Amino acid sequence: MPSHRLSVVVWLGVFLALLAFQTLSPDSAGAYTYSNDFEGSTPWPEWNYPNAKATTPVGGRNFLGIFSNHTATLILTSFGAGASVTVEFDLFILRSWDGNNTYWGPDYWSLFAGSQTLMNTTFSNDFGGGQSYPGDYYTNNSPRTGAVENNTLGYGSGGWGDSVYHITKSYTHAGGPVVINFQGYNLQGWNDEGWGLDNVRVNVIPLPGTILLLGSGLLGLVGLSRKR
């Protein structure tokens, strides 16, 4: 190959590598972790409810809430498409959730990552009715199926109590800011059917190999130029 053509190829490779580096944000050079146990002071500007802090009547545990028919949104830094994202959290289900009951409910709770639906389910603290979790709606399971705690938070007035679920979901990021929506709907109000979040953790692992692949190609071209 003539030297001037080889130079063009090499510079084209450099350009593509720089372009890939710009596509992946500086924060995506390595794994990223966000965590919040809500024990610190407000505000938390990464949330659309930056001052929403509640304390459990029993145990004095601080959490984000209390919500009802609300969408709590967490917005984090930008990453390139293909990044692996894992979101982990404790979900507090407070008082008289009725699950799949079509007279008083259904009482829905959903988790979204951008336009991706990670969960769309129901919960029940009523032992007379079922819930969809750990499946999606409409699956029918016993009330409190999958709960890691029951009646530990102090919301027992009216005989309904509370339950805690430890939830972990993973998805492939579509690119741009990491936006996660936690949503309750068709509920009867926060003082009757409320929910909250605690111990939220988000791990992001960028898609490997894009820059390394281009870099290895450049090294091959340089070696070829030296050989010729």
What is the Cβ-side half-sphere exposure of residue 17, based on CA atoms within 13 angstroms? 16
pLDDT at 30: 81
User: pTM for this structure?
Assistant: 0.80
pLDDT at 207: 87
pLDDT at 210: 45
Q: What is the mean pLDDT of each run of 10 residues along the chain (228 residues)?
A: 47 42 45 97 98 98 98 97 98 96 95 97 89 97 97 88 98 98 96 96 85 42 42
pLDDT at 150: 96
Domain ranges across the chain: 1-24+207-228, 27-205
Distance between CA 211 and CA 118 in Å, rounded? 30
Distance between CA 134 and CA 167 in Å, rounded? 9
Evaluate whether 163 touches 109 at the Cβ level (below 8 Å): no
pLDDT at 27: 42
pLDDT at 59: 97
**Is domain 27-205 in CATH 2.60.120, yes or no?**
yes
pLDDT at 86: 98
